[in-house]
Chains A and B, each alone.
With several copies, the nearest count.
Chain A
Amino acid sequence: MTANPPERATVESVELRIPRKAEWVAVARLAVAAIASRMRFTIEEIEDVKLAVAEACTNAIQSADGADQIEILCETDDTQLRVTVANRSGSGVAIAPPPLAEDEVRIDGLGVFLIRSLMDDVEYDAGPETGTRLVMIKRLAS
């Protein structure tokens, strides 16, 4: 016998694609906040999701993989919000980020650290085929 996943309420999805540019992250942030507001999240939880998604977009922008779009998929049900942030690159190959100017401070991992702190579940995969995908889950208090 295989373990069946627990039965799930109906999933409703919102998909958003923005140019992979800093000036569009605010749009993703506000759209995701609007989605989270439709659920039973508290204001603090909405802010958490907003920041986590923005951090994921910022990562996608700062990585130098040649993608020109960021895809944000939000899947909601009665229990949780699941957000997938992915680079839409032709090649999908994530390469090293550009070198920083001398006076720039790279606090490596601050973005991902924040995401992990703010969300309940985070999965991160980068592969030559899939590009970089960050999957984050925020659960509703039951």
Chain B
Amino acid sequence: MDIKVNVRETDGETNIVELAGEIDVYTSPKVKDALGELIDRGVYNLVIDLEKVRYIDSTGLGVLIGGLKRVREHGGTVNLVCTNPQIKKIFDITGLVKIFGIYDSEDAAMKASV
């Protein structure tokens, strides 16, 4: 019932944000802060790895959308890594699949990021 955020720099301009745990009304501010800090530092290309996320609710989606809005102002991108069927379903029914790139692996998301 917590969220872990692990940011990894890569060779290029993209940073990988690995999230682990549950993103809900209680934990999503922590995710928001982590993304905000990166964007403040000028990192506008993000791969957000949701493979270890077991649960996400609308506040979590709101944080991802907020991040996307901010990086887009700088021509940036947010690509997600997600294979969990329940979480993919949430992106499906909310129509967010059309807004985010959603990939099966970090490699695929990284390639799409440049």
A and B touch in the complex (CB under 8 A): yes
Residues of A within 8 A of B (CB): 22-23, 25-26, 29-30, 34, 37-38, 44, 47, 50-51, 54-55, 57-58, 61-62, 103-107, 110-111, 113-114, 117-118
Q: Which chain B residues (50-100) contact chain A, with CB distance < 8 Å?
A: 55, 57-59, 61-62, 65-66, 69-70, 85-86, 89-90, 93-94
**Taking A34-B1, A58-B25 as contacts, is the C-beta distance between A117 and B66 under 8 angstroms?**
no
B22 CB–A CB distance under 8 Å:
yes
Check B24–A25 contact: CB distance below 8 A: yes
**A58 surroundings in chain B (CB, below 8 A):** 24-25, 57-59
Total B residues in contact with A, Cβ cutoff 8 Å? 22
Check B93–A117 contact: CB distance below 8 A: yes
**B89 surroundings in chain A (CB, below 8 A):** 44
Q: How far is it, in angstroms, between the C-alpha of A4 and the C-alpha of B7 when the chains are bound?
A: 50
**A104 surroundings in chain B (CB, below 8 A):** 62, 66
Can you list 24 residue pairs at the A/B interface with Cβ under 8 Å?
A22-B24, A22-B25, A25-B25, A25-B26, A29-B24, A37-B1, A38-B1, A44-B89, A47-B86, A50-B55, A54-B57, A55-B57, A58-B58, A58-B59, A103-B36, A104-B62, A104-B66, A105-B66, A107-B58, A107-B61, A110-B61, A114-B57, A114-B94, A118-B93
